[in-house]
Amino acid sequence: MNILFVCMGNVCRSPMAVGLLKKKFEENNIDGLVDSAGFESYTINEPPDKRAIKTAEKYGIEVSGRARIFVKDDFDKFDKIYVMDMQNYRDVKDLTRNKSDIKKIDYLLNVLHPGKNETVPDPYSQGEYNCHVIFEILDKATTKIAENIQAN
């Protein structure tokens, strides 16, 4: 199962989700690609936010990589595309080519609260404490993703 996480800048929420899910894939012998992307050109090739890295390290999770832009080819590479908020959903949906692409998109928190389309708050302008709060939310969601994959 190949999973893509999408947030605005691809430097906080989605890289933390990638680190969490990669570790869960490894621990549960789940085969698949896990990656992230965003929509802000000013963060292209930037590393994850230092606060996100520091927060993840406290829990033994590696957050690395470089920010990249979401592209239409991502629909071909990934089975599921989880977005963090309404704007991300709109941005990804605007690039869909067909109904199959649309079916791949979902709000990340729908794995915990189906059909609610809840937003994962963006910690970028909020400070380190909020990175911990967001990390815990992402941890619960990625645990559920891994459980769902194993159940199927």
Annotated catalytic residue, options 13, 35, 49, 139 = 13
Q: Mark 12-47 as b/e (b = at least 16 C-beta within 10 Å).
A: bbbbbbbbbbbbbbeeeebeeebbbbbbeeebeebe
Annotated catalytic residue, options 35, 49, 85, 122 = 122
* 122 in active site: yes
* 131 in active site: no
The amino acid that residue 79 corresponds to is D
Annotated catalytic residue, options 7, 35, 49, 74 = 7
Q: Mark 63-99 as b/e (b = at least 16 C-beta within 10 Å).
A: bebebbebeeebbeebebbbbbbeebbebbeeebeee
* 7 in active site: yes
Residues with catalytic function: 7, 13, 122
